Amino acid sequence: MLKIRNLESGYDKLKVLKGISLHVKSGEIVTIIGANGAGKTTLLNTITSIVKTTGGKIDLKGVDVTTASPNLIVKSGCALVPEGRQLYPSMTVKENLILGAYTLYRRREHKLALENLENIYTMFPVLKERRSQLAGTLSGGEQQMVAIGRALMSDPDLLLMDEPSMGLAPLIVKDIFRTVKKLRDKGKTILIVEQNAKAVLEIADRGYVMETGSLILEGSSEDLLDNNDVKRAYLGRDYKDFTD
Amino acid sequence: MIYSKEYETMQREDLEQLQVERLQVTLNRVYRNVLFYKNLYDEKKIEISDIKSLKNLASLPLTSKDDLRGSYPYEAFAVPLRDIVRIHSTSGTTGTPIVVGYTKNDLKIWSCLVARVLSAAGITGNDLVQIAFNYSQSTGGLGFHYGAEQIGASVIPASGEEVLKQIQIMKDYRSSALVSTPGYALHIVSILEENGMDPQELNLSTGLFGSEPWSEKLRTKIESKLKIKAFDNYGLSEIIGPGVAFECDEHNGLHVNEDHFIVEVIDPETLEVLPAGMEGELVFTTITKEGFPLIRYRTGDISSIIEEPCECGRTTRRIKRVSGRTDDMIIVDGNNIFPSQIEAILFEIEGVEPHFQIILNREEGLDVIELKVEVSSNLFVFDEIRKVQSFQQKIQQQLITSLGLHAKISLIESKSLGRTRGEKIKRVLDLRKL
């Protein structure tokens, strides 16, 4: 589905990604875990062409999209659920969702957009209930549902998620990740960037660990959970637990 | 059977992507965590981010046994010692061993890799696997033990039991598979014959032999005498132990577990990477190991890469059966010994000039090693039998304590060993028919 080789990017003179190679197979949930400032968001923004690539290659469904524009990436079947939801708080839930289908509207596929909207309502009944409510009035978990729903409006094959657990209570995080799993069961491929390693490794098939713009570990979720570096750095297990 | 179908039958293109990812991840980790590699790359002004493809791997310096000696014992580990759950070690060239640490994940991966080796030889959960490798510092015993348990076989850790006991276990417990050195299998054959026992009385159907080079002729002999199918496998402790490469039913080269190890063949003189089909020295890079990763490690083993796809369905490339060594290392009953180690021991023992010759032979399938040592002629002039004997014993004892080597020692007069024109004694005389 997605194949990345030696990806480099950054902001002006600041090089953030220092040669990232990773792949996501069709039907997989893959996660990239890393601390603040590791370059996780930059990676997703580079894949979606929001940040310009300065080196390397991105291959989406067998097509080289390294220099494609963001809207072409969406058209190729890849959508982003951005960090911090990025909803329009003064617009209704429905309006927010419809924005996610802008590529469909441009192609005059209004009917398809409406179909997708109905599908999303079936999947998240709570959004149907609240469709006329202003997005800003929803709880954090519901807002995250809207953000996911909005990304699904273009009916992507590959869903990129940037820290979906951010700012949410543990129970809500569980809910969100259960939804992610459901999406995979419906045939979506998912790449999640997360700091909450424990929660995401429970649902992911594989993962990579990112540190200061480089990947330093790769493996099945099970192996990563067993890795002591991961335990120390991301699972909140203190050094003391190991030395005592 | 193919144990790990997803990885062993991967499309080459996908495998290459996986190898590049894992290689880069490993390089990032060794550069951060292993001082030896950090210094090496800094000194040579190598940017690891320049390694963008498998081809670029050739631009990295090679690692040799000698390089690792400086890191004795734990300096080359890529994780803190508390993350290590197992320690094995190998014999080094001059007595300093190479210490190899495994994390929990390393052991898990290792077990699965050996499970591939066993599955390819047809071993299943219904088999009784008798392991006649010494369960010690070397990796053969425990490596196969965990691999066999991984596939659910019943493991008989016969280890270093003496041969009659091994045969009795084999007979009484109805062992269906034997894991050992090929030499040991041959030894079992001769003991069976000596005691007038029929191999048919045994339940043995499969043998997995490794840790020393052996020929097709020897395979035919073992197979016909023991009425089994014999499979070769390849591995070395520095890399992981058994589980690096293995034979499938086709018996035509050994499949390398390429999703965990990148294999190259180099010219041992020019150090250039050789194309597939050309014979040279095997070089491995580990790409999933946590505890003790190695980049471009020179094995000293001679082989070549087979690129053509195999009938068995695995897409991994194969290596030819190892045909020999680039250095003077000798393998005695699966143990690696360098003549330089023997030289160092002789040096330490006063009165003995380090002029010696190692003569290897095979009796009843077992390796017999004889050490001919030239001694100062005055020892013979005085003809003090007792003195001579005590010298012999001293050397013999030293060889056992330092190398675990039981050798017959012959003291001979100075200059009596045949020398070539360059005044050099042929160090090793290998009379074994491998």
Query: Which domains, and CATH codes, for chain A?
Result: 2-77+156-243 (3.40.50.300), 86-155 (no CATH)
Q: A2, A6, A8: which to substitute to probe chain B, counting the most B Cβ within 10 Å? A: A6
Nearest CB partner across the interface for B49, out of A19, A223, A227: A19
Nearest CB partner across the interface for A218, out of B14, B22, B49: B22
| Strands of chain A, DSSP E | 2-11, 14-24, 29-34, 53-60, 63-64, 78-81, 158-162, 189-194, 206-211, 214-220
- A216 and chain B in contact, CB less than 8 A: yes
Q: Which pair of structure tokens corresponds to residue B40?
A: 């090496």
**Pairs across A and B, CB distance < 8 A:** 58
Instruction: Identify the pLDDT of residue B158.
Output: 95
Would you call B49 and A223 a contact, using CB atoms and an 8 Å cutoff?
Answer: no
Strand partners, B371: B358, B409
**Confidence check: pLDDT of A193 > 70:** yes
DSSP B32: H
- A76 and chain B in contact, CB less than 8 A: no
pLDDT tens figures, B81-108: 999 999 998 865 556 889 999 999 999 9
Q: Which long-range contacts (CB under 8 A, 24 or more apart) does B195-198 make?
A: B195/B164, B197/B167
Q: Using 50, 70 and 90 to split pLDDT, how confident is the model at B213?
A: confident
Nearest CB partner across the interface for B17, out of A19, A23, A214: A23
State the nearest Cα–Cα gap between B294 and chain A, in angstroms.
Answer: 15
**Confidence check: pLDDT of B414 > 50:** yes
Judging contacts by C-beta atoms under 8 Å, the chain A residues touching residue B80 are 228
The residues on B that touch A, with CB distances below 8 Å, are 14, 17-18, 20-22, 24-25, 28-29, 32, 49, 52-53, 79-80, 82-83, 103-105, 108-109, 288, 290
CB B356 within 8 A of CB B372: yes
Would you call B79 and A228 a contact, using CB atoms and an 8 Å cutoff?
Answer: yes
Quick one: what percent of chain B has pLDDT higher than 70?
94
Separation CA B5–CA B313 (nearest Å):
9
Q: Average pLDDT, stretch A152-179?
A: 93
Q: Which pair of structure tokens corresponds to residue B175?
A: 């062992």
pLDDT tens figures, B340-382: 788 878 877 766 667 788 888 888 777 888 988 877 666 666 5
Would you call A215 and B79 a contact, using CB atoms and an 8 Å cutoff?
Answer: no
CB B116 within 8 A of CB B257: yes
Q: Average pLDDT, stretch B130-138?
A: 89
Judging contacts by C-beta atoms under 8 Å, the chain A residues touching residue B290 are 227
Q: Using 50, 70 and 90 to split pLDDT, how confident is the model at B169?
A: very high
Nearest CB partner across the interface for A217, out of B17, B25, B108: B25
Would you call B103 and A214 a contact, using CB atoms and an 8 Å cutoff?
Answer: no
In the chain, the amino acid numbered B381 is V
Judging contacts by C-beta atoms under 8 Å, the chain A residues touching residue B28 are 211, 214-216
CB B232 within 8 A of CB B206: no
Q: How many CB atoms lie within 10 A of CB B154?
A: 15
Taking the CA atoms of chain A, what radius of gyration do you get in angstroms?
A: 18
Would you call A6 and B52 a contact, using CB atoms and an 8 Å cutoff?
Answer: yes
- A62 and chain B in contact, CB less than 8 A: no
What is chain A's mean pLDDT, rounded? Answer: 91
φ, ψ for residue B159 (rounded to 5)? 50, -130
pLDDT tens figures, A105-125: 888 888 889 999 999 999 899
Separation CA B284–CA B298 (nearest Å):
7
Nearest chain A residue to B20 by CA distance is: A21
Instruction: Identify the pLDDT of residue B93.
Output: 53
**Confidence check: pLDDT of A244 > 50:** no
Would you call B52 and A5 a contact, using CB atoms and an 8 Å cutoff?
Answer: yes
The complex's ipTM works out to 0.89
pLDDT tens figures, A29-74: 999 999 888 999 999 999 999 999 999 999 999 999 999 999 899 9
Nearest CB partner across the interface for B104, out of A3, A23, A226: A226
Q: Is the dihedral of CA A198, A192, B53, A17 positive or negative?
A: negative
Instruction: Identify the pLDDT of residue B407.
Output: 87
- A237 and chain B in contact, CB less than 8 A: no
Please state which of the ranges A167-171, A196-200, B403-407 shows the lowest mean pLDDT.
B403-407
**Confidence check: pLDDT of A238 > 90:** no
Separation CA B271–CA B265 (nearest Å):
9
Look up the pTM and report it: 0.88
Nearest CB partner across the interface for B21, out of A18, A218, A226: A218
Instruction: Identify the pLDDT of residue B351.
Output: 60
Instruction: Identify the pLDDT of residue A208.
Output: 97
Nearest CB partner across the interface for A216, out of B18, B28, B53: B28
Residue A53's alpha-carbon distances to A9, A41, A61, A133, A214, in angstroms, are 5, 14, 18, 39, 15
Quick one: what percent of chain B has pLDDT higher than 90?
63
Separation CA B260–CA B242 (nearest Å):
13
